[in-house]
Amino acid sequence: MKWWVPGDWNGFFGLFTNVLLNVIVLTTLCLYVVHLPNTVVYGRILPALGIALPLGNLYYAYLAWRLATDEGRDDVTAMPYGPSVPHMFIVVFVIMLPTYLKNSAAMGEGPAAMLAWQAGLAWAFIIGVIVLIGAFVGPTIRQFTPRAAMLGTLAGISITFIAMRPAFQMWEVPWIAFVSLGIVLISWTANVKLPWGIPGGLAAVIAGTVIGWIAYLFGWTDIVQGAKVGQAFGQFGLHLPIPGGEVFQGLANIWPLLVTAIPLGVYNFTEGMNNVESASAAGDNYNLRNILLADGVGAIVGSVLGSPFPPAVYIGHPGWKTVGGRIGYSLATGVVIGLVCFLGLTALLLAVVPLVAILPILLYIGLVIGAQAFTASPARHAPAVMLAIIPNVAAWTQNQVDGALGAAGTNAGKLGAEALGNNGVIYSGMALLGGGAVLAGLILGAIAAFIIDREFNKAAIYALAGAVLAVFGFIHGIQLQWMASPQVALGYVLLAVICYVVGVRAASETSLEPVEASKVAAQGDK
């Protein structure tokens, strides 16, 4: 297994731009939402990421090399790794921003921002601990869960939270986006070699950037931030990670953090489990425990060094595999992202590269993962895949509705369910269906797949598991609490009873004498 092959250029520019985009986003959130000072963002948070992220990329590269050596193959692709996208927004808007707003009037903006940072660090630390626990229970869950359920809920994430927003943003500047998208599709789906062997991902970013800058220089658009290039150089310099005790100060007020940390920690290892299954469907069967251990350790190390953003194994392994990525793309991504964080280059890249040049790469990954759920699962399980997708659609739609209402200065609670329902928005059902969407999709998809295969007892077991999870609010709940969704839990219990009764009846039919069994089969066919 070579450490670098030509396809690694495609994988590198794809994964690097993906991770870089997320680093840019989290930098913006810290500076302009939580109002953290530049010294904390560029001096503590980004250098901490510069350690946590490369460690994961290097470790995943090692796992790929070991798998290739053990199986005697040269086509193994390392797992992608980066800051967890859902957690970026959750830790900012659910943990850090409320802490900042609650204390800014009494303490002042600066101390309140530091307190919010400490709360975020403690939250990320708890996430890491939960993922480490999941490393020991996740393999068992994976063993007894149908592939359609795991890939289906992953497809739900890719279609909604990965593909939809980039698609919308692309259509705001389609005259640039279509050029980059066309290059990505031609290079990565049709496998057309570009002139001079230029990797498709690099060509897409360069083309979009060149067009954006030409338009900016002629005064046609401000899609690039040319005016901020000079300012961006002010952050250039060497910023090394510094361990601190802020995470332990944040842990002093741990209980409010558990309400979101526990279900999101479960989300993390569930998504990691699904991503490993996705890689297995693409031909690379990794040890789930090793993958989750890296995620948990990365979150804990990052929080101790100063980053409130837990890293995680990324969706997208099959996509990077199809474009030729092997081991080198992961190694290169880790090293270059580390340099970007240590040298304070994030602001410069944000000013130079237009976002629309990167977005088609994210859209492509969403397309590949969504398609894999159907192509890598038995055809008869297609309804189960669709059922597993739906909770993530509900969660994403709720986010859109909440955002629109917030922009109008109101929320769903103020308007009321009746007013929303009269306008075609079934908000309460949408919120319940989308609560804990990744885990909910896994449960629903598994139930459907087992029913399709007439394994009714297994379907009943998963229905009972769904009832327990709903009682505590891990799925179909607004928040984590006892009897969070009693009606949903009751529905799962009744479904379990139905599956059990049908399973008992099916078992009694198969135990008939051969002649009687043949009569039953004939009647069923008729």
Whose tokens are 């797949």? That residue is 449
Q: What is the DSSP letter of 194?
A: P
Q: What does the pLDDT read at residue 30? A: 87
Collect all residues with Cβ–Cβ distance below 8 Å to 146 and sequence separation of at least 6: 377, 381, 384, 445, 446, 449, 450
Which residue, 102, 111, 80, is CA-closest to 18? Answer: 80
Is the distance from CB of 340 to CB of 23 less than 8 angstroms? yes
Q: What is the DSSP letter of 82?
A: E
Q: What does the pLDDT read at residue 266? A: 67
Collect all residues with Cβ–Cβ distance below 8 Å to 421 and sequence separation of at least 6: 427
Return phi, psi of residue 82, to 5°. 180, -175
The continuous run of DSSP H or E covering 365 comes out as helix 359-375
What size, in residues, is the chain?
A: 526
Is the distance from CB of 161 to CB of 363 less than 8 angstroms? no
pLDDT in tens, 12-31: 877 887 788 788 778 877 88
Mark residue 37 as left, alpha or beta (left: phi above 0; alpha: psi -120 to 50; beta: remaining).
beta
In angstroms, the Cα distances linking 428 to 389, 416, 418, 478 are 19, 10, 10, 10
pLDDT above 90 for 430: yes
Q: What does the pLDDT read at residue 517? A: 46
CA dihedral of residues 226, 231, 234, 236 (deg, nearest 10): -20
Whose tokens are 């040049």? That residue is 357
Return phi, psi of residue 34, to 5°. -90, -15
Q: What is the DSSP letter of 410?
A: -
User: What is the distance between the alpha carbons of residues 353 and 162, in angstroms, rounded to a whole number?
Assistant: 20
Return phi, psi of residue 311, to 5°. -80, 165
Residue 311's beta-bridge partner residues? 83
Collect all residues with Cβ–Cβ distance below 8 Å to 98 and sequence separation of at least 6: none
In angstroms, the Cα distances linking 263 to 119, 131, 331 are 17, 11, 31
Is the distance from CB of 460 to CB of 500 less than 8 angstroms? yes
Q: What is the pTM of this model?
A: 0.70
CA angle 260, 165, 177 (to 5 degrees): 150
Whose tokens are 């910023």? That residue is 239
Q: Give the residue-averaged pLDDT of 104-132.
A: 88
Mean predicted lDDT score pLDDT of the chain: 84
Is the distance from CB of 405 to CB of 415 less than 8 angstroms? yes
Q: What does the pLDDT read at residue 177? A: 92
pLDDT in tens, 243-287: 888 888 888 776 666 655 665 666 667 778 778 888 998 889 998
- Reported as a pLDDT band with limits 50, 70 and 90, residue 225 is low
Residue 381: count other Cβ atoms within 10 Å of its Cβ: 25
- Reported as a pLDDT band with limits 50, 70 and 90, residue 503 is very high
CA angle 395, 401, 404 (to 5 degrees): 140
Collect all residues with Cβ–Cβ distance below 8 Å to 335 and sequence separation of at least 6: 54, 57
Both tokens of 419, joined, read: 């007013």
Helices 46-71 and 288-305: crossing angle in degrees, nearest 10, is: 160
pLDDT in tens, 295-318: 889 999 999 999 999 888 887 788
Is the distance from CB of 265 to CB of 137 less than 8 angstroms? no
Residue 116: count other Cβ atoms within 10 Å of its Cβ: 29
Q: What percentage of the chain's residues is helix, strand, coil (to nearest 5)?
A: 80, 0, 20
Which residue, 232, 250, 308, 300, is CA-closest to 44? Answer: 308
Is the distance from CB of 448 to CB of 387 less than 8 angstroms? yes
Q: What does the pLDDT read at residue 227? A: 63
pLDDT above 60 for 515: no
Higher pLDDT, 488 or 357: 488
Q: How far is CA 123 from the centre of its chain?
A: 18
The continuous run of DSSP H or E covering 81 comes out as strand 81-83
- Reported as a pLDDT band with limits 50, 70 and 90, residue 512 is low
Half-sphere exposure of 40 (CA within 13 A, CB side): 24
Collect all residues with Cβ–Cβ distance below 8 Å to 78 and sequence separation of at least 6: 57, 60, 61, 63, 64, 325, 326, 327, 329, 330, 331
pLDDT above 70 for 420: yes
pLDDT above 70 for 234: no
Mark residue 426 as left, alpha or beta (left: phi above 0; alpha: psi -120 to 50; beta: remaining).
beta
> How many H-runs (helices) and E-runs (strands) does the chain carry?
26, 2
Q: Give the residue-averaged pLDDT of 183-191.
A: 86
Is the distance from CB of 213 to CB of 222 less than 8 angstroms? no
Whose tokens are 């100060």? That residue is 249
Least confident of 48-52, 237-241, 394-398, 493-497: 237-241
Both tokens of 201, joined, read: 């991902």
Q: What does the pLDDT read at residue 262? A: 66
Coil vs helix vs strand at 94: helix
CA dihedral of residues 38, 41, 42, 47 (deg, nearest 10): 160
pLDDT above 60 for 516: no
